[in-house]
Amino acid sequence: MSSIIAILVLSGVFFSIIAAIGVVRLPDMYSRLHAASISSTLGVSSVLLGVFLYFWYFNNNFEMTLLLAIVLIFVIAPTGAHMLARSAFHSDVEPYKLTILNELRRDEIGHEELREEDKQRAEERKKEKELEE
């Protein structure tokens, strides 16, 4: 049982480190938010599950609050990230320059056509790829 607990805690630490690296290295707010919400949710939940199993197995202490915290993290973190991304979008925070298709903008406008800016970005990216080859 102690090996399962160790694996859970170490995997939680791994996911938390990946989240921290993603927040530092990724180019724009949207991708940083994605890295922070997904990886940290898995990291914190794995550590909490390891702590829950530790107290339950070694101390015979069933902590319902740890299970509740895991459930709340799985519900609140993605919802909060979604709300932050939508508010950033409506505050005109620009995505990374290599982003080709902005589906939220397309859905809110109500048609399938790309805007002129999106077409220009797609052409620029296509030219950059041709130059790299």
What the block records as the tokens of 129 is 């790829």
For residue 131, what are the contacts with CB-CB under 8 A and spacing of at least 6?
none
Is the pLDDT at 91 greater than 70? The verdict is: yes
Helical H runs in the chain? 2-25, 29-59, 64-90, 103-109, 116-132
26-43 pLDDT, tens digit each: 888 888 888 888 888 899
Task: Considering only residues 19 and 121, tell me which one the structure prediction assigns the higher pLDDT.
Answer: 19
51-60 pLDDT, tens digit each: 999 999 888 8
Is the pLDDT at 102 greater than 60? The verdict is: yes
Instruction: Give pLDDT, residue 33.
Output: 86
Confidence of residue 112 (pLDDT cuts 50, 70, 90): low
